[in-house]
Amino acid sequence: MAQIPEEVKNVMTRLEAAGYQAWCVGGAVRDLLLGRTPGDWDVTTNALPETVLELFAPRALPTGLKHGTVTVGGGRGVEVTTFRRDGDYLDHRHPERVEFTGSLTEDLARRDFTVNAMAMDLRGDLADPWGGREDLAAGVLRAVGAPEERFEEDALRILRGLRFAARLGFAVEAETGRAMVNRAADLREIAPERVRTELEGLLCGDHAAQVLLDWPEVLGAVLPEILPAVGFDQRSRYHCYDVWEHTARAVEAAPPQPIPRWTMLLHDLGKPNTFTLDEGGEGHFYGHWRESVRLAEAILERLRFDNRSRRTILTLVERHDCELPLTQKAVRRNLARYGEETVRLLLAVKRADNLAQAPAFHGRQQGIDQWEALLNMTLAEDSCFSLRQLAVKGNDMTEIGLRGPAVGKALNDLLELVMDEELPNDRTVLLDYVKEKFL
Ligand code: ATP
Ligand code: MG
């Protein structure tokens, strides 16, 4: 079994030596018992925050005194939080006040899910008043206490729950699940950044598809744009799934990183609005990417995405269905337009999209492999696909007498010609061409 790391043990030992209790708690204990490596380590204690600050000075920082949290040590540090119980919640988000308590059991009772409500001390003794260990073994996610009340207190717990389900492959216990649906509307009061973080964790989970399929009405509270896709029959031979199931499978088929996973979530949302049937009874979604881009823009804006991610995701949604001719010209043009990173992401998106289509069409993966091989070859032979790589620069243009906008125009024309192999990337040849055409 994984171990509590030295730096965490040292903090716990020090607290115990000073006469206090010290417990590893929450997600760290959950992950430890699952044999997974915890992302962060939380310690809980009956020592008050001021005492913790004194005990660990000068290596302690008051990072969340309001909530009783002190961070000890360098790097990411260990968060030490005093046992607390939460006061009333009036806004589905924040407890009105927090009160410190001498009781570990009370502290565990304020936590969200039974598997997150366990504590372990230095000797490996487990405090588990809510049966977290049993739920962990059964793969069940169960709210601590009365689920509706707990979600009403803090709606973010609903999305945290779905994130854990997507990460761990756990089933949501029935009453907990009903409460998630009943309280989903409260999610609209949660800060968009926090919603985005949880959705991103959910999307990047190894079991994201099942969660997307099982909880559309909960997700629809923050992403109403997905709802028309749920159960939407594509009537197309390329597809053996409805739009939402295709989407869910495409998400899970993509690399588990935010950009490709968000892209797959959004890539086909425009389908229901662009559906047409031909005389043969076959469904089409002409230009659906355009409508997907429109819906994606609204979602990314609402969830406060940074500009760079937003632009990349929108490019990928826009291009997910485009042809990639198997020619070096096409490779260079794509590199020139989007850059290597985005082009590689586009290939990942196309792979995922195809893997979520009817198996008879999975042969298309080979086309993507071939395009990738051509991309690698093109990059390796340092061919020219940007102005930086062009054998002539702006000052060459001014030296031979071009001025103003003509300089940029000439360079761009040359780049196009070089990319299309109509001219070699050779200084003399390029200068001769400009002299002939532009002077
Ligand atoms: P992760 O692996 O993502 O860090 P985690 O369970 O450790 O998951 P944290 O946000 O690090 O989640 O929180 C640590 C612990 O604090 C949780 O395990 C849980 O016991 C408690 N907790 C966190 N957020 C909430 C919340 N909104 N409501 C109740 N308890 C919470
Ligand atoms: Mg954690």
Q: Is the CB of 157 under 6 A from ligand 1?
A: yes
Cα(79) to centroid(ligand 2), Å: 10
What is the reported pLDDT for 2? 66
Cα(112) to centroid(ligand 1), Å: 7
Q: What percentage of residues in the chain have a pLDDT greater than 90?
A: 92
Spatial distance between the Cα atoms of 235 and 386, rounded to a whole number of angstroms: 43
322 C-beta neighbours (distance < 10 Å), count: 10
What is the reported pLDDT for 319? 98
Which residue's CA is the closest to the ligand 1 atom numbered 17? 26
Q: Which amino acid is at 147?
A: P
What is the reported pLDDT for 438? 84
pLDDT tens digits, residue range 37-57?
998 999 999 999 999 999 999
Spatial distance between the Cα atoms of 285 and 261, rounded to a whole number of angstroms: 22
Spatial distance between the Cα atoms of 258 and 198, rounded to a whole number of angstroms: 11
Q: Which residue reads 């308590």 in tokens?
A: 101
User: Predicted confidence band at 3 (pLDDT cuts at 50, 70, 90)?
Assistant: confident
Spatial distance between the Cα atoms of 137 and 406, rounded to a whole number of angstroms: 70
What is the reported pLDDT for 408? 94
DSSP-assigned states of every residue in 245-260: HHHHHHHHHS-SSHHH
From 80, 86, 112, mutation site for ligand 1 pocket: most ligand atoms within 8 A of C-beta: 112
- Residue 158: C-alpha distances to residues 15, 202, 232, 243, 297 (Å): 34, 11, 26, 25, 25
- pTM higher than the cut 0.85: yes
40 C-beta neighbours (distance < 10 Å), count: 12
Q: What percentage of residues in the chain have a pLDDT greater than 70?
A: 100
Beta bridge partners of 61: 71
pLDDT tens digits, residue range 96-153?
788 999 999 999 999 999 999 999 999 999 999 999 999 999 999 999 999 999 999 9
Q: Is the CB of 74 under 6 A from ligand 1?
A: no
DSSP-assigned states of every residue in 106-172: HHHHTSSBGGGS-EE-TT--EE-TT-HHHHHHHTEE-BSS-HHHHHHH-THHHHHHHHHHHHH-PEE
DSSP 46: S
Question: How crowded is the C-beta side of 312, counted as CA atoms within 13 Å?
Answer: 18
